[in-house]
Structures are given as C-alpha cells and as structure tokens.
C-alpha cells in the first residue's frame, strides 16, 4: 500500500473532485459516513457519551458532518469547536450550517474557555487538526490536547492524531493527541510507523473514501507499507522438478568463542527459509556445536580456534551472509577486508561486519553492488552518522544507499527497507522480537531468500515481513516474554503458509450516503 505525502493527498482530492464531477463537500460527506459506519457497527446505538472536538478546517468539517449522522441515529453526543483561527474552511461552514439546521449548537472553545467534563467511559472524537497542520498549535490548544490525553478516555482520531504533521516531527511532543484509534483516509501516514511519532497511534485503520484509483495507482510515492498483498507477488513457489541445487548454497560466515550461537541461529534460519544448502564458516571452536545442533548444515573452519583470522573456502556460494557473532579483533578485521577484496557475489552484511565497515569507511567502496546491510539503530548511526530526527535518519539512509548501491534494512518496531530512493515499511512483528539473536535470524532468512533467487531488495522486504509474521504467529502460543529467536525460526513454516490463507471478509452494516 502506498504511503502518500500531504501534498499528494491534496492533489488526489483535487483530481478526484474534477474527475468524478463531485463537490469537495461530497468527499467530506464520504469521509464522515465512513467514520459513522465504523462507529455504528461497534456501538450499535449504545448511549455512551461522545464528545466531538472539531477544528475549523476540513478535519473539523469531517467531525461536524459526523455529528449530523450521530444525531440522525439517536446517539448521545456534544460538539465543541476548537476555535484556533478565524479562517474557517468552506466545507466546515457548510456542515456547521447543516448541523445548526438540525438544532444542534456546538460549544465554541477559545483561549479563555474552561474545558468540558469528560467521563472515563465516554468517547472522544479528535477532529481538531488533520493533515493541514503547518505550525505549532497555540498554548491553549496544546493544553486542551493534554487535557484530553489525561482524561484516560478512549480517543478516536479522524485521519491523523491532531498535532502530528505528515512530513515532519512535531516541535512540541506535548502538543499531540494520543490516539487509541486512528481512522485514516485512503492510506496510512508515514508518521504512524516512526519511532518518534508512532506512539501517538495505538491502532489505526484505513477508510476508503473513493479517491481516484488512477491517481492512486500512477502516483509514485517515497514510501510503501508492506503487508500480505505486497509480498504475495514476490513469493516464488517451489517447482516439482527441482533439487537442492535449485535453491542455492548459502555461506554464513561469523562466530567467535562464546558467540557461535549467532552463526547457529543464522544458519538454521537460512535453512528454514528454504536455502537448498547451507555451509557455516566459523573458528574451530564452532565446529562441534554447529554439527551437533544443526546436522543439516555443513561446516568449514578457520585456522584459528577462537576467532576468524582468514576467510578461504573452495566452494562457490550463491550468497554470503557475514558478521553474526564475529567480533572485531584485528585479525578478523583484516580477514574481512581481504574477503571484500575478492568476493563480488551476493552479500548480506550484519552485526560486527557492519561495525567493521563503520570503523573503516574505505571498505564500503568494496561492497559488491546491491549488498544488503541489516543494521539496528546503533549500527546504523555508526554507518551514517547521527540524525536530528526520524525524517533526517531516513533521508541520510537513502543517500547512503544510493552512494554505495546497497539495500539498507533499518531494524525497528516497523523495520524499513531502503533502496533506490524508496522506503518499504514493514507491517508485521511485535515487541517480543526485542530478544537476543532476533537479528541473526533475520540476516539468515534474507540470506536464504537470496540463495533461492530472490533479488536483494525483494529478499529484504519479504524476509523482514516473514520474520515478523513468524514472530506474530509464535507469540499466540508463547507470549511476548518467552519469544526467543529459535522460536521465531520454528514458525517460519507457518509464516510461509499464512501467505496462502484466504482471509474471511467482514460484513459491515452500513448506512447510505445522503
């Protein structure tokens, strides 16, 4: 699913209004009806008090139009206009008139107004600011937002939590509504997925307001949200007349005394994601544990007992995954540099190999084209330098990826794969994955997918999705705390199979648009 910028959404609006021959107010009406349907389906007429806080722009207009539908269906509600400016939008005013025609009189809140009483079990609809926010809200509006946040009442935000920008980070973290649920029109906003702003959005859902399909399809975006629909076309089914050679030979290079487990996890993950053959290259001390715990893998050993000191092998790998548990000893650093001088094939770089690249930036130029780098935030910072906020981090990552022609996997709650100027935001995964070895498993999985013929970008996007999906399936059985990396690998099979499941379609009740 594409993630549009604010200006693209405004353009889609304009295009839709022209092409469908409708007025902008009809688009607002679609938005309001969709929100009403969503609420009505869940509330079924329950007399819970609903407090609507509406700004004076089109986001506020959505809220005002929603109030009309709530009234028509006998809901218990009151409307507050957050009067932060005199520049009321045309469609806001139109809907305000329609509401007044029905004898509903909103309360206007200004800088000197007292805030209304709100019960814990009530519902707040937040339609104060939408995607049109373009400066820090006034102090009294920030105070109102804080007041709403502190009520502990369920907050339903229209389109975006008020106070969040679409393309930048809010200056004042207090001036943002903390939404329990966001109903976002047509497409999610990037800020829902970034570490600095994602916490304002507990849950979100997309409401289709029928923006022009041609515009949406043909417009190229800087970010995409990756769910099942996006990864299904990537999936390569197995062929009947195939053999293990068809699915590639992965070489996993890493390990040091006390950190052989990282290579075991990556190799196991690589096998479980479908690599035909896997060879692990480890210091001598790694041979026995690997052969014992993972009989499916072959093992090559370094001359050194405890660390990697020289990487030489007489096989031809389809792909190499390097760095897990490798440490950064001088001999290892030299071995890695020599390896990069010779190796020009598919490459996945993780953990200490990333740190070696950061310490010796000249090595970056030796990376084979379209290498995949899988840094966690600290490793990323060492590679690209510090950033002032999440947006700058993304821009710097894109630049780095272009400069060295590599795919960057920025690991996080919503891992983002960056390549060729586009960020692919993952939808799967959970906090249980913040556990030892989870990264080794991801690097192993991506390596295994490259071995099977997936292109580096596709392997990264697909691997990140499957890795998170496996963890999502696993926590259903073991909970967040007990999710260990091995459990993620053990659920790869179910993650692959979930791709082929057909979802049940919900049957929502709906009201007619008027």
Ligand X SMILES: NC(=O)C1=CN([C@@H]2O[C@H](COP(=O)(O)OP(=O)(O)OC[C@H]3O[C@@H](n4cnc5c(N)ncnc54)[C@H](OP(=O)(O)O)[C@@H]3O)[C@@H](O)[C@H]2O)[C@H](O)CC1
Say if residue 335 carries a ligand binding annotation.
no
- Residue 28 within binding range of ligand X, rule CB under 6 A: yes
**What is the C-alpha to C-alpha distance for residues 144 and 147, in angstroms, rounded to an integer?**
5
**What is the C-alpha to C-alpha distance for residues 392 and 403, in angstroms, rounded to an integer?**
16
Provide the mask over 99-138, with x wherever binding to K ion is found by CB under 5 A and - wherever it is not: ---------------------------x------------
> What does the DSSP assignment read for 133-187?
--SPPPHHHHHHHHHHHHT--EEEEESS-TT--SSS--S-TTSS--EEEEEEESS
Provide the mask over 39-68, with x wherever binding to ligand X is found by CB under 6 A and - wherever it is not: ----------------x-xxxxxx------
185 binds, among K ion, ligand X, none (CB under 5 to 8 A by kind): ligand X
**What is the C-alpha to C-alpha distance for residues 408 and 349, in angstroms, rounded to an integer?**
10
Nearer to K ion, 126 or 224 (CB): 126
- Residue 269 within binding range of ligand X, rule CB under 6 A: no
- Percent of the chain that is helix, strand, coil (3-state, to 5): 45, 15, 40
157 binds, among K ion, ligand X, none (CB under 5 to 8 A by kind): K ion
Say if residue 130 carries a ligand binding annotation.
yes
Nearer to K ion, 13 or 126 (CB): 126
Provide the mask over 120-139, with x wherever binding to ligand X is found by CB under 6 A and - wherever it is not: ---------xxxxxxxxx--
Nearer to ligand X, 167 or 482 (CB): 167
Contacts with 487 (C-beta within 8 Å, 6 or more apart), sequence order: 471, 474, 478
Q: Which of 207, 165, 210, 216 is nearest to 184 (CA)?
A: 207
Nearer to ligand X, 85 or 111 (CB): 85
Which residues inside 151-170 make contact with K ion, applying CB under 5 A? 157-158, 162
- Please identify, among the stretches 67-75, 85-93, 102-110, 488-496, the one whose residues bind ligand X according to the rule CB under 6 A: 85-93
Cβ atoms of 395 and 401 within 8 Å: the answer is: no
- Please identify, among the stretches 33-41, 83-91, 96-104, 356-364, the one whose residues bind ligand X according to the rule CB under 6 A: 83-91
Q: Which of 161, 235, 233 is nearest to 202 (CA)?
A: 161
**What is the C-alpha to C-alpha distance for residues 92 and 108, in angstroms, rounded to an integer?**
14
CA dihedral 361, 407, 256, 485 (to 10 degrees): 150
Say if residue 68 carries a ligand binding annotation.
no
Contacts with 428 (C-beta within 8 Å, 6 or more apart), sequence order: 464, 465, 466, 467, 468, 469, 471, 472
Which residues inside 183-242 make contact with ligand X, applying CB under 6 A? 185-186, 209, 211
Say if residue 222 carries a ligand binding annotation.
no
Say if residue 110 carries a ligand binding annotation.
no
311 binds, among K ion, ligand X, none (CB under 5 to 8 A by kind): none
Q: Using the rule CB under 6 A, which residue among 3, 27, 66, 183 binds ligand X? A: 27
**Alpha helices (H) in 180-286, listed in sequence order:** 213-218, 228-231, 260-272
Say if residue 95 carries a ligand binding annotation.
no
Q: How far is the CB of 60 from ligand X (least distance, A)?
A: 6
**What is the C-alpha to C-alpha distance for residues 400 and 140, in angstroms, rounded to an integer?**
42
CA dihedral 7, 205, 458, 456 (to 10 degrees): 70
- Residue 435 within binding range of ligand X, rule CB under 6 A: no
At residue 153's C-alpha, the angle toward residues 150 and 156, to 5°, is 110
Residues that bind K ion (CB under 5 A): 126, 157-158, 162
Residues forming the annotated binding site for AMP? 411-415, 439
Positions in the binding site for ligand X (CB under 6 A):
9, 13, 27-28, 31, 55, 57-62, 84-85, 87, 89, 129-137, 158-159, 185-186, 209, 211
């Amino acid at each position: 699913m594409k993630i549009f910028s604010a200006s693209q959404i405004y353009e889609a609006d304009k295009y839709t209004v022209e092409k469908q021959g409708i007025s902008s107010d009809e688009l607002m009406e679609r938005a309001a009806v969709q929100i009403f349907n969503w609420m009505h389906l869940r509330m079924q007429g329950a007399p819970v008090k609903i407090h609507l806080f509406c700004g004076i722009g089109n986001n506020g207009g959505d809220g005002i139009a929603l109030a009309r539908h709530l009234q028509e269906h006998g809901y218990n509600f009151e409307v507050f206009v957050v009067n932060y400016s005199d520049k009321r939008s045309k469609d806001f005013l139109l809907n305000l008139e329609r509401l007044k025609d029905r004898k509903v009189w909103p309360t206007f809140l200004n800088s000197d107004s007292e805030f209304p009483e709100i019960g814990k079990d009530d519902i707040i609809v937040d339609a104060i600011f939408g995607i049109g926010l373009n400066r820090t809200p006034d102090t009294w509006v920030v105070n109102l937002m804080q007041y709403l946040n502190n009520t502990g009442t369920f907050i339903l935000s229209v389109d975006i939590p008020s106070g969040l920008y679409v393309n930048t980070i809010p200056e004042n973290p207090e001036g943002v509504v903390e939404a329990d649920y966001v109903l976002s029109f047509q497409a999610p906003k990037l800020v829902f997925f970034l570490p600095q702003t994602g916490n304002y959005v507990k849950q979100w859902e997309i409401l289709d307001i029928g923006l022009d399909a041609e515009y949406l399809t043909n417009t190229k975006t800087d970010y995409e949200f990756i769910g099942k629909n996006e990864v299904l076309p990537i999936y390569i089914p197995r062929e009947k007349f195939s053999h293990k050679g068809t699915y590639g030979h992965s070489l996993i290079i890493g390990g040091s005394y006390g950190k052989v487990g990282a290579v075991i996890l990556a190799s196991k993950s690589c096998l479980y994601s479908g690599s035909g053959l896997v060879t692990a290259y480890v210091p001598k001390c790694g041979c026995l544990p690997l052969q014992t715990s993972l009989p499916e893998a072959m093992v090559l050993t370094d001359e050194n007992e405890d660390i990697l000191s020289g990487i030489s092998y007489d096989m031809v790998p389809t792909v190499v995954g390097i760095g897990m548990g490798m440490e950064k000893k001088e001999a290892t650093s030299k071995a890695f540099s020599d390896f990069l001088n010779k190796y020009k094939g598919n490459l996945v770089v993780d953990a200490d190999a990333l740190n070696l690249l950061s310490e010796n930036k000249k090595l970056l130029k030796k990376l084979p084209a379209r290498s995949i780098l899988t840094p966690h935030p600290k490793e990323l910072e060492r590679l690209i330098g510090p950033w002032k906020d999440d947006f700058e981090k993304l821009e710097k990552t894109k630049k780095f990826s272009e400069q060295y022609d590599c795919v960057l996997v920025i690991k996080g709650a919503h891992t983002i794969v960056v390549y060729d100027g586009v960020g692919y935001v993952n939808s799967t995964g959970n906090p249980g994955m913040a556990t030892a070895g989870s990264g080794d498993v991801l690097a192993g999985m991506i390596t295994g997918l490259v071995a099977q013929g997936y292109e580096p970008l596709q392997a990264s996007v697909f691997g990140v999705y499957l890795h998170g999906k496996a963890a999502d399936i696993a926590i259903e059985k073991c909970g967040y705390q007990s999710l260990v990396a091995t459990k993620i690998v053990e659920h790869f099979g179910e993650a692959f199979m979930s791709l082929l499941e057909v979802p049940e379609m919900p049957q929502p009740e709906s009201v007619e648009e008027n």
